[in-house]
């Protein structure tokens, strides 16, 4: 395996490869009313079909919008598209707005949280029933948490340059992305420190008292040094079934074998629930996870799939295509939930993770220290003198963070060179060093400080900020050509949904059986 310096030198000699890096964003956000209460209205018709609009859909709840960009070869075009989509949504929402915080707004009783609806096609019903299953297994409130997903891919030439090894381009690509994921797993605690922005929650989110939380005010609970309660066991809780599922990123075969086990092994608690209630589907099956996407993870190896194709089958057949980072909180200070500086740092960080040597994990493919470091930082990341564990030795978060940023900086420099000069990537890294030096500059600390200064609860603070962002986006508007383009996409989405519904020739039970049968033994 080549060393870090050798790999940096190789990339410096092949800057055109870095120009082929692609990135995309999926940004979630709850629709709320003017008082900041979860919207219980249907998905607005002006936003198109949630099933087939490629830019605007929903995630778990009918109110949980998901705005999706295409893939971009520059941060500028990526942020521009995301902003345009936010502007279009803001223009269409008359009496509602998008909640710009990862932790939910005021939620109604669980029974009144609407599950996303995608129409009567088999494809749409599969998505809906899957979400019914999530409600049965984890509760509806947890599914209303929102975040930013960052998709990232590199040209295949990169894996050849890095001498990843493998008998085919597909094998090299998969090995390369899994090595990148292993490094991401080692270092992702840094992202939570730098970008975590959910140190507090509204009291209504937790049905019972949580002894570890402290009282911020009558409506808000928090942890004084937390960075991201969303990514803690108070946010995306994994139940016992998922807690026992440990995927392995040492090689694709083992990863897929363990995933296959999870989607085909019954779990007693889910068997007791069953798949039907009063003659209606309530979950797709009674296995540990219904489908591959149910596994809650900070990062996923991904491959585009066709209609009805299983993600694991696509990975097994064609290999990993890109990675999806799932741990970023919504940036409350940005009207679109993420800044250009954060995007540039993510590119540099992920290139670093891809290019640096990445040893395989021992312990059956599970990195205990990395898991523990991540869990510690989301709850206590800003605690003075906090120490983490690196290779069985303790090191302060500040020292390790500074060391990592020093190692990431050369990759930022290469990205600046590949983009034709300038220092935007380098400045993005420098901005993060300031946060490591002074935790008061982190988004989580800034959020709590602003709430204190304004004397506002998390709910009232977020509502005020969301209203300001909503007004800013509406004021920016869209030029006639862009508006026409979004309206065309909306029309086309309804036509495509109707085509799918009209074209279904089999009943839903048969469709589900065929979907499960598509999961072949590995």
Report d(CA 40, CA 486) in Å as an integer. Answer: 24
Residue 268 φ/ψ, nearest 5 degrees? -50, -45
Coil, helix or strand at residue 514: helix
Q: Is the pLDDT score of 275 beyond 70?
A: yes
User: Token pair for residue 370?
Assistant: 């990395």
Residue 287 φ/ψ, nearest 5 degrees? -85, 175
Residue whose entry in the numeric block shows the structure tokens 């922005």:
197
* Strand runs labelled E in 44-163: 56-58, 64-68, 96-98, 148-153
User: Token pair for residue 51?
Assistant: 């099933």
CA 14-15-18 angle, 5° bins: 110
Query: Which residues, other chains included, contact 393 with Cβ-Cβ below 8 Å and sequence gap of 6+?
Result: none
Query: Which residues, other chains included, contact 149 with Cβ-Cβ below 8 Å and sequence gap of 6+?
Result: 25, 26, 27, 28, 324, 325, 326, 328
Of the candidate ranges 62-76, 209-223, 442-456, 460-474, the one whose mean pLDDT is the lowest: 209-223
181-190: burial string, b at 16+ Cβ within 10 Å, e else:
bbbbbbbbbb
- Sign for the CA dihedral angle at 378, 380, 382, 386 comes to negative
* Strand runs labelled E in 207-251: 214-217, 220-222
Q: Answer for the pair 180, 347: CB distance below 8 angstroms, yes or no.
A: no
Query: Which residues, other chains included, contact 369 with Cβ-Cβ below 8 Å and sequence gap of 6+?
Result: 389, 390, 391, 392
How far CA 431 is from CA of 341, 434, 436, in Å, comes to 8, 5, 9
3 pLDDT tier (thresholds 50, 70, 90): confident
106-145: burial string, b at 16+ Cβ within 10 Å, e else:
bbeeeeebbbbbbbebbbbbbbbbbbbbbbbbbebbbbbb
Q: Is the pLDDT score of 59 beyond 50?
A: yes
Beta bridge partners of 221: 201, 215
382-395: burial string, b at 16+ Cβ within 10 Å, e else:
bbeebbbeeeeeee
Q: Which of 83, 78, 29 is nearest to 347 (CA)?
A: 78
Query: Which residues, other chains included, contact 473 with Cβ-Cβ below 8 Å and sequence gap of 6+?
Result: 83, 86, 87, 89, 90, 91, 335
Share of the chain above pLDDT 90, in %: 86
Q: Which of 343, 324, 327 is nearest to 151 (CA)?
A: 324
Q: What is the pTM of this model?
A: 0.96
Over its C-alpha atoms, the chain yields an Rg (Å, rounded) of: 22
Domains by residue range for the chain, with CATH: 4-517 (3.30.590.20)
Query: Which residues, other chains included, contact 16 with Cβ-Cβ below 8 Å and sequence gap of 6+?
Result: 418
Mean pLDDT of the chain: 94
337 Rama class: left (phi>0) / alpha (psi -120 to 50) / beta: left
Q: Residues 83-140: pLDDT tens digits?
A: 999 999 999 998 999 999 999 988 999 999 999 999 999 999 999 999 999 999 999 9
Q: Is the pLDDT score of 76 beyond 90?
A: yes
Report d(CA 212, CA 205) in Å as an integer. Answer: 15
Q: Is the pLDDT score of 1 beyond 60?
A: no
Query: Which residues, other chains included, contact 72 with Cβ-Cβ below 8 Å and sequence gap of 6+?
Result: 22, 23, 24, 78, 81
Q: Residues 347-377: pLDDT tens digits?
A: 999 999 999 999 998 876 667 778 899 999 9
Number of neighbouring beta carbons within 10 Å of residue 42: 11
Q: Answer for the pair 396, 387: CB distance below 8 angstroms, yes or no.
A: yes
Q: Is the pLDDT score of 395 beyond 80?
A: yes
pLDDT reported for residue 522:
65
Burial group, residue 328, by CB count within 10 angstroms (0-12, 13-18, 19+): buried
78 pLDDT tier (thresholds 50, 70, 90): very high
176 pLDDT tier (thresholds 50, 70, 90): very high
Q: Residues 211-253: pLDDT tens digits?
A: 889 999 999 999 999 999 999 988 876 567 777 777 889 999 9
- What number is the average pLDDT over the span 283-311? 92
Number of neighbouring beta carbons within 10 Å of residue 423: 12
DSSP 246: -
Per the model's pLDDT, the better-predicted residue between 408 and 307 turns out to be 408
Q: Residues 411-432: pLDDT tens digits?
A: 999 999 999 889 999 999 999 9
- What number is the average pLDDT over the span 493-521? 93
- Sign for the CA dihedral angle at 184, 186, 191, 196 comes to positive
């Amino acid at each position: 395996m080549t060393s870090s310096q050798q790999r940096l030198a190789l990339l410096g000699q092949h800057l055109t490869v870095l120009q082929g890096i692609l990135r995309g964003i999926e940004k979630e956000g709850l629709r709320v009313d003017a008082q900041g209460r979860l919207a219980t209205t249907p998905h607005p018709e002006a936003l198109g079909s949630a099933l087939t609009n490629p830019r605007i859909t929903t995630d778990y709840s009918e109110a949980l919008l998901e705005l999706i960009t295409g893939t971009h070869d520059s941060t500028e075009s990526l942020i521009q598209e995301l902003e345009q989509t936010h502007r279009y949504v803001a223009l269409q929402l008359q009496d509602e707005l998008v909640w710009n915080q990862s932790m939910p707004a005021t939620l109604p009783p669980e029974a009144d949280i609407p599950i996303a609806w995608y129409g009567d096609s088999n494809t749409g019903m599969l998505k809906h029933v899957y979400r019914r299953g999530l409600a049965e297994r984890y509760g509806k409130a947890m599914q209303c948490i929102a975040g930013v997903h960052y998709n990232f891919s590199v040209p295949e030439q990169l894996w050849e340059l890095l001498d990843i090894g493998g008998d085919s381009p597909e094998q090299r690509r998969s090995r390369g992305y899994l090595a990148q994921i292993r490094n991401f797993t080692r270092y992702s605690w840094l992202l939570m420190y730098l970008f975590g922005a959910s140190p507090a929650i509204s009291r209504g989110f937790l049905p019972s008292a949580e002894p570890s939380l402290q009282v911020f005010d009558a409506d808000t609970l928090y942890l004084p040094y937390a960075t991201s309660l969303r990514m803690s066991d108070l946010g995306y809780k994994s139940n016992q079934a998922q807690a026992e599922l440990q995927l392995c990123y040492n090689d694709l075969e083992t990863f897929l074998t363990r995933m296959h086990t999870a989607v085909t092994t019954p779990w007693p608690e889910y068997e007791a629930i069953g798949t039907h209630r009063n003659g209606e589907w309530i979950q797709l099956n009674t296995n540990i996870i219904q489908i591959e996407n149910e596994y809650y993870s900070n990062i996923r190896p991904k491959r585009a799939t066709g209609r009805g194709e299983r993600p694991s089958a696509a990975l097994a057949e064609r290999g990993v295509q890109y990675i999806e980072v799932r741990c970023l909180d919504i940036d409350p200070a940005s009207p679109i939930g993420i800044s250009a500086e954060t995007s540039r740092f993510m590119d540099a960080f992920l290139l670093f993770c891809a290019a640096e040597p990445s040893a395989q994990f021992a312990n059956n493919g599970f990195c205990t220290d990395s898991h523990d470091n991540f869990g510690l930082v989301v709850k206590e990341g800003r605690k003075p003198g906090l120490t983490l564990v690196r290779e069985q030795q303790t090191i302060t978060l500040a020292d390790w963070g500074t060391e990592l940023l020093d190692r990431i900086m050369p990759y930022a420099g290469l990205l600046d060179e590949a983009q034709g000069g300038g220092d935007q990537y380098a400045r993005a890294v420098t901005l993060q060093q300031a946060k490591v030096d002074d935790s008061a500059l982190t988004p989580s600390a800034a959020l709590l400080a602003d709430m204190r200064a304004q004397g506002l609860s998390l709910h009232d603070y977020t509502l005020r900020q969301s209203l300001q962002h909503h007004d800013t986006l509406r004021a920016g508007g869209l030029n006639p050509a862009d508006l026409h383009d979004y309206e065309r996409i909306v029309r086309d989405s309804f036509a495509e949904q109707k085509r799918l519904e009209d074209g279904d020739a089999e009943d839903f039970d048969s469709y589900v059986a065929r979907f499960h049968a598509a999961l072949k033994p590995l």
